[in-house]
Structure 1
Amino acid sequence: WRYPGQAVPKFIPVPGVTADSVSGRAHGNKEQEKVNRVMTYLIFVGLWIAVTLVMGIVLSH
C-alpha cells in the first residue's frame, strides 16, 4: 500500500526539506496526530466490519 508521491512528505520527513516547512509541520503536529489516530481507528473499524461480514457470509453458506 503506497501513498501517491505528493502525499509522502506529509508522513515521512524528507531530507532537504526547508526549515520553514519543518517548523510549519511541527506547529500542525497535534492536528496531524489527531487525524492519524482517527484514520487508524476508522481503518480498524472498517477492517473489523469487513471481516465480520465475510465471516457471516462464509458461515451462513
Structure 2
Amino acid sequence: MVDREQRTPFYGVVMILAALGASMAVSFYGPTWLRVTVYILTTMVIVVGGVMTFRDYSH
C-alpha cells in the first residue's frame, strides 16, 4: 500500500503534463468543436491530476 501512495503524485503530474500537451496540440490545429472538447476534458483531467498530486497522506 505504501508503494502505491508514493506513485500517486507521479501519476498526477503525468496526467497534468499530458493534458497540457493535448491542449497545446489542438490550440493551433483542428476545428473549433475539437478544441472546445479537448479544453473541457483537459480541465477535468488537470483537476483530478492536481488532487492526486497534492493529496495529503499524513493522516
Question: So what's the TM-score if we normalise by structure 2?
Answer: 0.45
Greater relative CO (CA pairs within 8 A, separation 6+): 2
Which of these two proteins has the greater Rg computed from alpha carbons?
A: 1
